[in-house]
């Protein structure tokens, strides 16, 4: 089987990041989301608060003792969900193989993606830049041959970091990795591993498999696999792709509508390429077009077009004509897409190339 390429992305102090984005005065102070009042618990805090020892799940009273200047704001889940949706939509433009773990983190399997020269590192850089530009928060990313290592990598250079573990680096990387970093190893398990003489994965590799099985049961097998940097879990997709789109941000603004028309043909070709990657073409329900002007204002337009099988340039021209009222306005981003007819029964989408 070809070498897998997995990216794990994790939004930095997510709820706090959204609050700081929406109220810039909060960027300069130690901030906790949640934890106000006598019995509140801190949900997330920013890095200024973490410097005082404040942590998520800590009672608000304790957090204020550690950090007397702590500012607290109430949680606003509807707002965080909306921002999460924006982030996940950006991830899904790169690949359908996205497995969200929570509102603020997800795995992507990009093994078959040819965009960005097929380089998972370039893909991760692209995603981080887009989230920063379009959503206004930072994400950290880890790139590795499997889920276990990608998740460790995304934490390696937090916040706002990118860390890559190449296949040839795996052995050297895990040998020095502390056992506390392993998934499912808390204080108790770490203590038991230390008692066996294992402080790092390198030490853990030297403990016979039968000893680990005897001491830890089924978890012993998993510990041994992780100690060698092995993990064969797939990225699990449990949502139906409702749309497919392509977009391009131009390093120099397109000067006018005519310039947009000149790049549309290649965008339509990219879109059809992405559509053929789907295991089966679903019935198209709508076409949509998206434009971001040089002043960053963004406009979209969609129209029902159910008879179209393979979208062509002339199918998008009427949408462009309708959306662009000022033909001389410089354009920073242009995107095209299709929405599929909704089918209410959810389907597990399997990897194409297993």
pLDDT score recorded for residue 340 = 87
Would you say 145 and 4 are in contact if contact means Cβ atoms under 8 Å apart? yes
Long-range CB contacts (within 8 A, 24+) of 73-77: 73/19, 73/26, 73/31, 73/32, 73/33, 73/36, 74/33, 74/34, 74/36, 75/15, 75/33, 75/34, 75/43, 76/18, 76/19
Would you say 284 and 302 are in contact if contact means Cβ atoms under 8 Å apart? no
Q: Which CATH architecture has domain 6-13+78-167?
A: 2-Layer Sandwich (3.30)
Would you say 244 and 337 are in contact if contact means Cβ atoms under 8 Å apart? yes
Burial of 20 (C-beta count, 10 Å sphere; 0-12/13-18/19+)? buried
269-310 tens-digit pLDDT? 888 877 876 545 678 999 999 999 988 888 999 999 988 888
Residues 133, 9: Cα–Cα separation, whole Å:
16
pLDDT score recorded for residue 50 = 96
One digit per residue, pLDDT tens: the chain, 354 residues? Answer: 578 999 999 999 999 999 999 999 999 999 999 988 767 889 899 999 999 999 988 888 999 999 999 999 999 998 999 999 999 999 988 888 999 988 899 999 999 888 899 999 999 999 999 999 999 999 999 999 999 999 999 999 999 999 999 999 999 999 999 999 998 888 889 999 999 999 999 999 999 999 999 999 988 999 999 999 999 999 988 666 778 888 888 878 899 998 999 889 888 988 887 787 654 567 899 999 999 998 888 899 999 998 888 899 999 999 999 999 999 999 998 999 999 886 544 444 444 443
Q: Confirm whether residue 76 is marked as ligand binding.
A: no
Query: Which residue is associated with the tokens 């990657």?
Result: 277
Burial of 227 (C-beta count, 10 Å sphere; 0-12/13-18/19+)? buried
Domain ranges of the chain: 6-13+78-167, 14-75, 170-228, 243-340
Would you say 147 and 107 are in contact if contact means Cβ atoms under 8 Å apart? yes
42-95 tens-digit pLDDT? 989 999 999 999 998 888 899 999 999 999 999 999 899 999 999 999 998 888
Which CATH number describes the domain made up of 170-228? 1.10.150.20
Total-model pTM: 0.70
Selecting from 3.40.50.2000, 3.30.1330.10, 3.30.1330.20, 3.40.1170.60, what CATH number does the domain 14-75 have? Answer: 3.40.1170.60
Residues identified as active-site: 105
pLDDT score recorded for residue 250 = 82
Q: Confirm whether residue 96 is marked as ligand binding.
A: no
Q: Do the domains spanning 14-75 and 243-340 agree at the CATH topology level? A: no
Superfamily of domain 243-340: DNA polymerase, Y-family, little finger domain (3.30.1490.100)
Residues 43, 202: Cα–Cα separation, whole Å:
35
CB burial readout 183-194, b (16+ within 10 A) else e: eebeeebbeebe
Of how many residues is the chain composed? 354
CB burial readout 232-270, b (16+ within 10 A) else e: eebbebeebeebbbbbeebeebbeebeebbeebeebbeb
pLDDT score recorded for residue 35 = 84
């Amino acid at each position: 089987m070809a070498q897998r390429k997995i990216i794990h992305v994790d939004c930095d102090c997510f709820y706090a990041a959204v609050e700081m984005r929406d109220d810039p005065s909060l960027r300069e102070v130690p901030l906790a989301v949640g934890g106000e009042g006598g019995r509140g618990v801190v949900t997330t805090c920013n890095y200024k608060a973490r410097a005082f020892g404040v942590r998520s799940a800590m009672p608000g009273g304790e957090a204020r003792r550690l950090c007397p200047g702590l500012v607290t704001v109430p949680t606003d889940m509807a707002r965080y969900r909306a921002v999460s949706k924006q982030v996940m939509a950006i991830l899904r433009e790169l690949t359908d193989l996205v497995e969200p773990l929570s509102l603020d983190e997800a795995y992507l399997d990009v093994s078959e993606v040819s965009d960005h020269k097929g380089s998972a590192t370039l893909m991760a850089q692209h995603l981080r830049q887009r989230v920063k530009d379009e959503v206004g928060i930072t994400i950290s990313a880890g790139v590795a041959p499997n889920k276990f290592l990608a998740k460790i990598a995304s934490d390696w250079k937090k916040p706002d970091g990118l860390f890559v573990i190449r296949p040839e680096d795996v052995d050297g990387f895990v040998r020095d990795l502390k056992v506390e970093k392993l998934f499912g190893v808390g204080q108790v398990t770490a203590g038991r591993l230390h008692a066996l003489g294992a402080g790092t994965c390198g030490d853990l590799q030297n403990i016979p498999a039968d000893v680990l099985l005897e001491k830890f049961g089924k978890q012993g097998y998993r510990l041994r696999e992780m100690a060698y940097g092995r993990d064969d879990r797939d990225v699990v997709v449990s949502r139906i792709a409702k749309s497919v789109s392509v977009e391009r941000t131009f390093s120099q603004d397109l000067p006018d509508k005519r310039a947009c028309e000149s790049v549309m043909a290649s965008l339509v070709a990219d879109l059809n390429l992405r559509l053929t990657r789907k295991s089966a073409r679903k019935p198209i329900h709508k076409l949509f077009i998206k434009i971001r002007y040089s002043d960053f204002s963004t406009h979209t337009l969609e129209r029902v077009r159910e008879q179209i099988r393979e979208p062509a340039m002339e199918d998008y021209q009427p949408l462009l004509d309708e959306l662009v009222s000022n033909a001389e306005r410089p354009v920073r981003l242009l995107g095209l897409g299709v929405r599929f007819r909704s089918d209410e029964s959810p389907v597990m989408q399997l990897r194409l190339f297993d």
